[in-house]
Amino acid sequence: MRSALARLPYRTRLTLAMVGAALVPLLALALALGALTAAMRGEADQRLTGAAKAVAAQLSDATLDAATAARVAAQIGLTVAVYDSEGALRGRSDTTLASGVLPDPPPAAAHALVHRGGVTSVFATVTGTDGVREGYVELAALQAGPLSADLDVGTLLALVLGFGIALALLIGWVLARVMVRPLGSLSAAVSRLEAGHLDERLPVEGEDELAAVAASHNRLADALAARNRSLGLVLGAIAELAPNRGLDAVLSAAPAAAAKAFGFTAVSVSLAGPESAPRPTVVEDHVPGEPWAFPTLLRAAGEPVGTLWTTIPPTREWAQADQDLLELFAIELAAGIRNAQLFGEVERLSETKSEFLRGVSHNLQTPLTTIRAIAGQLAEQAAARPDRRLAIIVEQSERLSRLVDQLLTVSRLEAGTLRPKIEVFAPAPLVARAWESLGHGDDGFALRDEASGWLAAADRDRVDQVVWALLDNAMKYGHPPIAVTVRAGAGMDDLPTGDWLVVTVRDHGQGIPEDDRSRVFERFSRLGDGGAGGTGLGLSVARGLVEAMGGRLWIAPTDGPGATLAFSLPAERIEEA
């Protein structure tokens, strides 16, 4: 029962409570009136019965007629009717109260009490002096009590219950609307507050419980708005802690960011080890009305990074929510410091690696040039008697030379010193010469030039390096035929606005798995088991060269088996004379 009521709306429950509260006193009043009426009517019935017996005794030797009935009625002040021994009416003093009919069966030696229509009648037997029944006498009177004579207790209870329910429902509905309206406003305000409308407030009217609830809601909304502003400031402060700017930049930005977010009067950051770490801060340490300087530990991955020292002004309230926000800021600051340290270390290692690559490349370039020259001379001298070993020396030295060129290109791209020499040329002949240099013959190769009237504006040598890398990659990881297409157009293949030439290289191998597409252009990345050999630098260097010339290198969609790589170059149209 209780759970069923709990599922009803609050207004319905309040209305039912008011109806119940209103019905209780009404039912009590109805029961009291009924009891009083029953008591008064019982006493009246006894008096009327006694009077009927006395009148019957007086009429033992009198004539039972209308005159006798009128005389007796005048003496006792009641309605009187007399009947003969056969039950026939002989006379009555009032036709409105006396029934004029004996009850069935007629009274014998005793008397008969009859209630009808709000009238009480007592019938008594009139006996002569010889003990023979002479007739009957009836005394009638209106029923006694505070209620109407024709209203019994059951009818009274039904009327009171019906009227009480109707009245209680009306009053309960009106009062419920009046009392529930503030609760509805409070519920709507809380819903809007939950939706993010932190400026929602309730009017505080009076000093009752609803006013207290409204005031409490307004204080909660003010606190949430303040916390939201603080959180926004904290997030803004965290955004200023960019670790890629370096450790010094993070340490210099942190005090100003913390002071702006929390209103501190003094902020400092110290880098320290675990031996000098202070004890953790708790909110209970703060004495309101006094400046308070306290430390907050900075930890990253469970290891101490340093300490954030802050001072709260005397007028600043400091609650657990503020402490939680400060802990969040401290976590992000510690992560920023640690990341800045790691960034610095990575940059140092990257510079060391670049210097190593530059040194190795320059040191290898001179002996490789010498080896290639001498091998070439020996091959020319032994033209009459070709020696395969000399050819292998020439091929491998050229391969090492390309590797050195790649390493030099990587170091220049990283240092930002690569400066392409822009000239205009037709890419299709360059692609054909690059394929010939690979030594695979014309079988399994198709070149389609759809860029008639267009020239590429790029570095010819760098484009040759890019094309050679793409063709070599297609032969290593794919299968013939290798199809190369040169197209021209503006705004094609999701390229920026302008004139472009697009070169696509397609093989018919197994293609590039979806999971490996993000690693294709990573440096030193080789897909599959690496059985095709290579350094993993070709595509990475090719993309860097294309982007240095203002273009883009990407994996293009392939209709059927195989993989398609495409790159774009700025283009110029040939002016016709």
Percentage of the residues of the chain whose pLDDT score is greater than 90: 8
pTM: 0.43
What residues are paired with 207 via a beta bridge?
Answer: none
Give the per-residue pLDDT at 485.
93
Exposure string of 479-500, with b = 16+ CB inside 10 Å and e = fewer, is: eeebbbbbbbeeeeeeeeeebb
Angle between helices 460-477 and 427-438 (to 10 degrees): 50
Tell me whether residue 225 is exposed, middle or buried, using C-beta atoms within 10 angstroms of its C-beta: 0 to 12, 13 to 18, 19 or more: middle
Contact 38, 153 (CB under 8 A): yes
Give the per-residue pLDDT at 116.
76
How many C-alpha atoms does 412 have within 13 Å on its Cβ side?
17
Give the per-residue pLDDT at 183.
64
Give the per-residue pLDDT at 248.
82
Question: Can you tell me the distance from the alpha carbon of 396 to that of 391, in angstroms, rounded to the nearest whole number?
Answer: 9
Pairing of strands 482-490, 445-450: parallel
pLDDT tens column, 211-222: 677 777 677 777
Output the CA torsion 224→225→226→231 (10° steps): 80
Question: Can you tell me the distance from the alpha carbon of 552 to that of 554, in angstroms, rounded to the nearest whole number?
Answer: 7
Span 419-573: which CATH code?
A: 3.30.565.10
For the record, the structure tokens of 150 come out as 């024709």
For the record, the structure tokens of 518 come out as 């993000």
Give the per-residue pLDDT at 503.
93
Contact 532, 545 (CB under 8 A): no
Q: In this structure, what DSSP letter does residue 208 have?
A: S
Contact 540, 522 (CB under 8 A): yes
For the record, the structure tokens of 238 come out as 């965290």
DSSP run (H or E) holding 423: strand 423-425
pLDDT band at 458 (very low <50, low <70, confident <90, very high): very high
For the record, the structure tokens of 312 come out as 């709260």
DSSP run (H or E) holding 148: none
What residues are paired with 250 via a beta bridge?
Answer: none
Question: Can you tell me the distance from the alpha carbon of 298 to that of 333, in angstroms, rounded to the nearest whole number?
Answer: 7
pLDDT tens column, 342-361: 888 877 877 777 677 666 66
Question: Can you tell me the distance from the alpha carbon of 208 to that of 463, in angstroms, rounded to the nearest whole number?
Answer: 84
What residues are paired with 83 via a beta bridge?
Answer: 89, 136
Angle at CA of residue 262, ends 257 and 267, nearest 5°: 60
Give the per-residue pLDDT at 203.
67
pLDDT tens column, 255-275: 888 888 778 888 888 886 544
Could you give phi then psi for residue 360, rounded to 5 degrees? -65, -45
Question: Can you tell me the distance from the alpha carbon of 327 to that of 236, in angstroms, rounded to the nearest whole number?
Answer: 15
Q: Using the predicted structure, report yes or no on whether residue 246 has a pLDDT greater than 70.
A: yes
pLDDT tens column, 384-431: 676 777 777 777 777 677 777 777 777 777 767 778 899 999 999 999
pLDDT tens column, 484-539: 999 986 655 567 777 899 999 999 888 888 877 878 888 766 665 554 555 667 78
**7-155 homologous superfamily:** PAS domain (3.30.450.20)
Mean pLDDT value across residues 317-341: 81
The residue type at 431 = V
DSSP run (H or E) holding 270: strand 266-271
Helix residue ranges per DSSP H, 134-152: none
Contact 447, 484 (CB under 8 A): yes
How does the average pLDDT of the chain come out, rounded?
A: 76
Question: Can you tell me the distance from the alpha carbon of 199 to that of 184, in angstroms, rounded to the nearest whole number?
Answer: 18
Mean pLDDT value across residues 565-577: 82
pLDDT tens column, 33-87: 777 777 777 788 888 888 888 888 888 778 888 888 888 888 888 888 888 878 7
pLDDT band at 329 (very low <50, low <70, confident <90, very high): confident
Q: List the domain boundaries for the chain.
A: 7-155, 236-330, 419-573
**Which has more confidence, 550 or 249?**
550
The residue type at 219 = R
Mean pLDDT value across residues 177-201: 66
For the record, the structure tokens of 260 come out as 């702006």
- Residues contacting residue 65 through CB under 8 Å, at least 6 positions apart: 82, 90, 91
Give the per-residue pLDDT at 292.
77
Question: Cis (ω within 30 of 0) for the bond into 481?
Answer: yes
Give the per-residue pLDDT at 274.
46
Question: Can you tell me the distance from the alpha carbon of 21 to that of 303, in angstroms, rounded to the nearest whole number?
Answer: 67
- End-to-end CA gap in the chain: 100
